[in-house]
Amino acid sequence: MKLCAHRGLSHACPENTIPAFAAAIALGVDEIEFDLWLSKDGVPVVCHDPKLDRTTDGEGVVTELTWEAIREADAGVMTGELWERIRVPQLEEVLDASGAGDVGLNIHIKDPGPGGQLVKMTCDQIRERGLKERAYIAGIEDVLSVSRDYAPEVVRCCLAGQNSPDEQIDLAIAYGCQRLQFSRKVTAADAARAHGVGLVNNLFWSDEREDARAYVEMGIDVVLTNRANVLLS
C-alpha cells in the first residue's frame, strides 16, 4: 500500500512540525500531508487548526497573527518536555525539508486567503521548485476553484463532499481534479467509480495494518495515517 503521513509522524512527534515530517520521510512513506493557513502578514503557516491553542503554548487565530508572533509559539511542548522549543514551520521550510527525493506532498489548504492569495503562493512554489510531479493541492470548492483557474497544471485533490462519496466524485469531476480523498464511508463501488473516471483514491484515515489493507483491497490507492511506523512494520 502507499502511505501518506498525516501531519507527519503525528502520533509520535509534534504534528505538522519539521521533526514529524523528517521522521516520516526517514521511514520511507510515499507522501506527507500538511495544512496551510495564511498569517496576517502573508506568510503560509503550517498548522491544522484555525487557532494555535491546541497544538502550541500560544493562542489566537492564525490568520489574525503576524508570522513573528506565530514563530514565538512552542509547537513541541504540548507533546512533552523533550520536544520543547520546536516551532511552527512555514511552507518553504517544509518544502526545503522534503529534500530533492520523490516523497509526495499532500498540501491541504484550509482557506484560499484574500483573493486566493494562499493558493496562488503555494502554486508558485510548486512551479518554481519543479514539484509538479510530486506535489498536489487538497481542498474544498473555494480552494479548488482558485487552483484550477490560476494553475490548472497543478494537481488537485477534492476534499469537498466527503459525507457523500457520490457527491464527492461529482465535485472532483466538476473541478477537474486528478485525485480525491474519501472518508471511511467509502465502498468498493465508490472506489471503482472514481477509478473509472481516472481519479487516484486517497483515504482519510487508517492507523492499523489489517484495517488499511482492507481499504486497499477495496480500491484505495493512498492511505493517510498518523502511525506510518505501524503500517510499515
- Asked if 108 is an active-site residue, the reply is no
First to last CA, the chain: 12
Q: Which of 11, 48, 108, 195 is catalytic?
A: 48
- Label residue 152 exposed, middle or buried (CB < 10 Å: 0-12, 13-18, 19+): exposed
Place of cell 492511505: 223
DSSP secondary structure letters along 66-109 = -HHHHHHSBSSGGG-GGGTT-B--BHHHHHHHTTTS--EEEEEE
Give Cβ neighbours of residue 201 (< 8 Å, ≥ 6 apart). Answer: 179, 180, 182, 186, 191, 194, 195, 219, 220, 221, 222
Residue 6 known to be catalytic: yes
Query: Alpha carbon of 225 to those of 54, 55, 63, 144, 205: distances in Å?
Result: 20, 18, 27, 23, 6
d(CA 187, CA 165): 8
Active-site entry in 6, 11, 108, 195? 6
The residues annotated with a catalytic role in the active site are 6, 48
